[in-house]
Amino acid sequence: MKIIIDTDPGQDDALTILLALASPEIELLGVTTVAGNVRVAQTTENALKTLDLVGRTDIPVYAGAERPLIRPGVTATHVHGKTGFEGVDLPPPSRPVSSGHAVDFIIRTVMENPPGTITLCTIGPLTNIALALAKEAALRERIGQIVMMSCAFSEVGNITPAAEFNIYVDPHAARMVFDSGIRLVVFPLDVTHQLHTSKARLERIEAIPNRVGPVVAAWLRFEKRFEATKYGTDGGPLHDPNTVLWLLKPELYRGRQVNVEIETDSALTLGMSVVDWWGITEKKKNALFMREVDADGVYDLVVERLSVL
Ligand code: BDR
Ligand code: CA
């Protein structure tokens, strides 16, 4: 299956890219970057470093939006560190970013391939996707599906009491995407908070006998120290990799089709994902919203795939 990963690396974003590269079922056509965890120049550099780590300089990286559509940018350096990539020192990128804008790469790729065949895997704020939809209306009919890490229902917020980070950073873009009619598959905090990066799980990843295992373990150890302390758990949640892992093994997850709307007006609950889990309204069901996950199955799959890199 052909995918584009739209991302703001971020250690858990990098692991998502690596899992896609480790999986023969997936053809990664390109990586597009966006401002989110850190500024876009830095997320772009981090994406290039991730591909260098496994010698995949054949995968193009396109830089995208420098800021959200309407609101000022928000970063998460308190979680990911100043560079977004703290935990391991990697060499500077071996090549420059591809020329052209991320939004144009997304449009060109979707329009050049047969309708319904491209999956967008979005693991950062949705600015690039909203811009692409604004620039090329035909994308709505042509994108196969958007598989995204975003939102929260019972776990509610991680960047504010009401909002999940990827939605909060660009709620207006998120609203455009949720209102687009494109098939959406959503991995919210409800799922990611069932996947603690426990000491034992990170040791298992670290013991993978290749270059990648120890790097991924060190990345997650750094990224998860903040959330583990905040939640008082053995390790923190595992967010972005769920998107690619579901493409590989959907039976690890359970959810249902629901209506999801994004709050863009309230100062108090800006960026909240309002999920009609119980079918209280008759609003159109616009997303497959995941709530359950086989946690041990997820970590088995992570280790299995990283082992081939
Ligand atoms: C999301 O926010 C980012 O910090 C993570 O990379 C993930 O995409 C979790 O809310
Ligand atoms: Ca991310």
What separation in Å is there between the alpha carbon of 104 and the centre of ligand 1?
Answer: 24
From the CA of 273, the nearest ligand is 1
Output the pLDDT for position 290: 98
CA dihedral 18, 21, 22, 24 (to 10 degrees): 160
- Quick check: CB of 240 below 6 Å from ligand 1? yes
Report whether residue 158 contacts ligand 1, using a CB cutoff of 6 Å.
Answer: yes
Alpha carbon of 79 to ligand 1 centroid (Å): 9
Overall number of domains in the chain:
1
Q: Within 13 A of 240's CA, how many CA atoms are on the CB side?
A: 26
- Cα 98 to the center of its chain, rounded Å: 21
What Å distances lie between residue 305 and 6, 47, 195, 196, CA to CA? 21, 19, 17, 19
Q: Does ligand 1 come within 6 angstroms of the Cβ of 79?
A: yes
In this prediction, residue 200 has a pLDDT band, given cuts at 50, 70 and 90, of very high
pLDDT at 187: 98
Res 252 pLDDT > 90: yes
User: Is it the case that residue 217 has pLDDT exceeding 90?
Assistant: yes
Pocket test for ligand 1, best of 239, 242, 244, 272 (most atoms within 8 A of CB): 239
Nearest-ligand number for the alpha carbon of 167: 1
Stated pTM of the model:
0.98
Q: Is the CB of 149 under 6 A from ligand 1?
A: yes
Enclosing domain of residue 69? 2-306
Q: Could you list the active site residues?
A: 239
- CATH code for the domain in which residue 56 is found: 3.90.245.10
Q: What's the mean pLDDT in 191-205?
A: 97
What's residue 181's pLDDT?
A: 98
Residue environment code for 106-126, b if the CB has 16+ CB neighbours within 10 A, otherwise e: bbebbeeeeeeebbbbbbbbb
Q: Of 240, 267, 296, nearest to 31 (Cα)? A: 240
Which pLDDT score is estimated for 73?
A: 96
Which residues are CB-neighbours of 16 under 8 A, at least 6 positions away?
5, 7, 121, 123, 240, 241, 243, 244
The burial class, CB within 10 Å (0-12 / 13-18 / 19+), for 278 is: exposed
Residue 155 has pLDDT above 90, yes or no: no
DSSP 65-132: -SS-SSSPP---HHHH-TTS-TTS--PPPSSPPPSS-HHHHHHHHHHHSPTT-EEEEE-S-SHHHHHH
**Averaged pLDDT of the chain:** 97
Mean pLDDT on 38-57? 98
| Ligand 1 pocket member 165 (CB < 6 A) | yes
* Interval 189-209 mean pLDDT: 97
Q: What is the pLDDT of residue 304?
A: 98
- Region 5-25: mean pLDDT is 98
Question: For residues 167 and 290, what is the distance between their CA atoms, to the nearest angstrom?
Answer: 16
For ligand 1, say whether the CB of 13 is within 6 Å of any of its atoms: yes
Residue 307 C-alpha to ligand 2 middle, in angstroms? 23
* Mutate which of 149, 158, 170, 230 for ligand 1 pocket (most atoms within 8 A of beta carbon): 149
Q: What is the mean pLDDT of residues 124-141?
A: 98
The predicted model gives 196-201 an average pLDDT of 97
What percentage of the chain reaches a pLDDT higher than 90? 97
